[in-house]
Chains A and B, each alone.
Chain A
Amino acid sequence: MLPRFWRKIKYRYNLIGSKCKNCETLYYPPRNICPKCRRRGEMEELELWDEGRVISYTIVHETSDDFKLNVPYIIALIKLENGVIITSQVVCNPSEIKIGMKVKPVFRKYGEDGEDGVIYYGTKFVPAD
């Protein structure tokens, strides 16, 4: 069986999103079609790797099998300096996380496809200061 998540590796590892050449809106995750311009739009790939701030967060205590060894872990919505919003894990002590906290992206392991499966990597965020 093929691993479930591999086609978007490039976009996950480097935070590559899309920019619409027509309306200049940035999108992450990347999109093939601009939802504002539709056929008038034209998308190009753009690296969005940037620092940002936590705009909302949660500390997860109960989860699915894939993540249960990681609890408690932090999921946050992060607004990057370039305006793009990303859903990501934040790696820090759960007592430290707060809204407005400055964070920066790092390359980290997310999980694996069962005991014998491939390891999944992606972008997480850590405190910037």
Chain B
Amino acid sequence: MRVAIVGVGQTKFGELWDKGFRDIVIEAGIEALEDANLSGDEIEALYIGNMSGGRYLGQEHISALIADYSGLTELHIPSVRVETGDASGGSALREAYLAVLSGMYDVVIAAGAEKVTDVGPELAMDIMASTADREWEGFVGATLPALYALIAKMHMERYSTREEDLAMVAVKNHKNAINNPKAQFRREISIDTVMNSPYIAEPLKVFDCAPISDGASVVILASEEMARKLTDTPVYIDSIVQASDYVALQSREDITTMKSVVYSARKAYKLSRISPNDVDVAEVHDSFTIAEIMAYEDLGFCKKGEGAKLIREGETEIGGRIPVNPSGGLKACGHAVGATGIRQAVEITLQLRGDAGKRQVDAEIGLALNIGGTGGTAVVTIFRR
């Protein structure tokens, strides 16, 4: 049995001051139901990626709350919040997929939502640091950008990756976001913009870091049989694999590779009987520019250490050999933490259906990589039309 995506929806990502948590979830949900041409009665279960409702909003138990305010209350369906740091969305997608694959349900929702900007930047930094090891990393003042900076520094030292190469990732993703109406930053930037921006944690500068964003995204999954009745353009989840790794960098043998990514990618390729060369389009977790360079390597788009070469040669631009982050990625589309993994699935679905407008890539097979923290969790999904 196969599992298909039959509807997608997404709010704009960004500082959504005038909208509350419930508002954005409902907005994305209604868009997805309209896209799937469903009334809502068909939904049998909800899986919601959300990293830190408790700290951002002081609201736990958002699973039932979302079911409640989405108008699904009187269906009394099960609703579960899924949390794996900022890979929560990817993990929610996987739980929803498994629920349909099990034969238990025909139609389920996988959602992701986060309302981040109600807290200030310092507290937001502290909350993001909680995706790393609080007791042994956070305690000494190692924020998430600081940890990615340690990774970047070592990658630069070992593979001669330059700060300009990292900057090129941000430039590419900003350029792609211009054509994404849901993106947070729809303006072109230059290498100089990035290079002249102040350091957050050397060598990472303001423009190497994804912003914090509010946002919600929703995909509706259906069994193959149901999908055929609902749509002429189903996009299938061919495989979805999640892996974990040591949470703290100091426990890893080599911090210039993320084993969780390598393991999940390798297994997903095997399950889908494809090689990295067969991937036509990818959305990867560029929470920091170095993470996109490492994703190229760990996903097998190039050899280890050659990630910088890939961006330099333009191979990951739209029109290149393997376009990466046509949406603008986390850097320019925005990073609404728990919503990001589902947002990636929305983008790949649009791309495979041919509904991606001016940022359209010619693609049959798509991949999404969602990462929690510095790689303690990775989720790799292969999509096929």
Q: Are B154 and A66 in contact (CB under 8 A)?
A: no
For window 58-113 of chain A, which residues contact chain B by CB distance below 8 Å? 58-68, 70, 73, 75-77, 85-89, 99, 110-111
B232-263: contact bitstring with A at CB < 8 Å (1 yes, 0 no)? 00000000000000101111000100000000
Q: Are A87 and B250 in contact (CB under 8 A)?
A: yes
Q: Are B250 and A75 in contact (CB under 8 A)?
A: no
Contacts known (A58-B201, A60-B141); A29 close to B146, Cβ less than 8 A? no
Roughly how many angstroms separate A86 CA and B126 CA in the complex, as a whole number? Answer: 21
Roughly how many angstroms separate A111 CA and B203 CA in the complex, as a whole number? Answer: 25
For A28, A62, A65, A120, the residue with the greatest tally of chain B CB atoms inside 10 Å of its CB is A62
Roughly how many angstroms separate A28 CA and B250 CA in the complex, as a whole number? Answer: 8
Q: Are A29 and B143 in contact (CB under 8 A)?
A: no
Q: Are A65 and B126 in contact (CB under 8 A)?
A: yes
Cross-chain pair count, CB within 8 angstroms: 106
A16-52: contact bitstring with B at CB < 8 Å (1 yes, 0 no)? 0000000000011100000100000000000000000
B139-175: contact bitstring with A at CB < 8 Å (1 yes, 0 no)? 1111101100111011001000000000000000000
By a CB distance below 8 angstroms, the chain B residues around A28 are 250
By a CB distance below 8 angstroms, the chain A residues around B204 are 58
Roughly how many angstroms separate A65 CA and B199 CA in the complex, as a whole number? Answer: 17
Q: Which of A8, A68, A85, A120 contacts B250 (CB 8 A)?
A: A85
Interface residues on A, range: 35 or more
Q: Are B157 and A99 in contact (CB under 8 A)?
A: yes
Chain B: CB-nearest residue to A87:
B250
| B271 in the interface (beta carbon within 8 A) | no
For B129, B139, B149, B246, the residue with the greatest tally of chain A CB atoms inside 10 Å of its CB is B139
Instruction: Tell me the interface secondary structure of chain A in the complex.
Output: strand
**Could you jot down 30 A-B contacts, CB within 8 Å?**
A5-B139, A8-B135, A56-B150, A56-B151, A56-B154, A56-B255, A57-B150, A58-B149, A58-B202, A60-B141, A60-B143, A60-B145, A60-B146, A60-B201, A61-B199, A61-B202, A62-B143, A63-B141, A64-B129, A66-B141, A67-B143, A75-B140, A75-B150, A75-B201, A77-B249, A77-B250, A87-B140, A87-B142, A110-B141, A124-B140
Add 20 more A-B contacts to A61-B202, A77-B249 (CB < 8 A): A8-B135, A29-B135, A58-B153, A59-B202, A60-B141, A60-B145, A60-B146, A61-B198, A61-B199, A62-B143, A63-B143, A65-B122, A75-B150, A75-B201, A87-B140, A88-B140, A110-B139, A110-B141, A111-B141, A122-B140
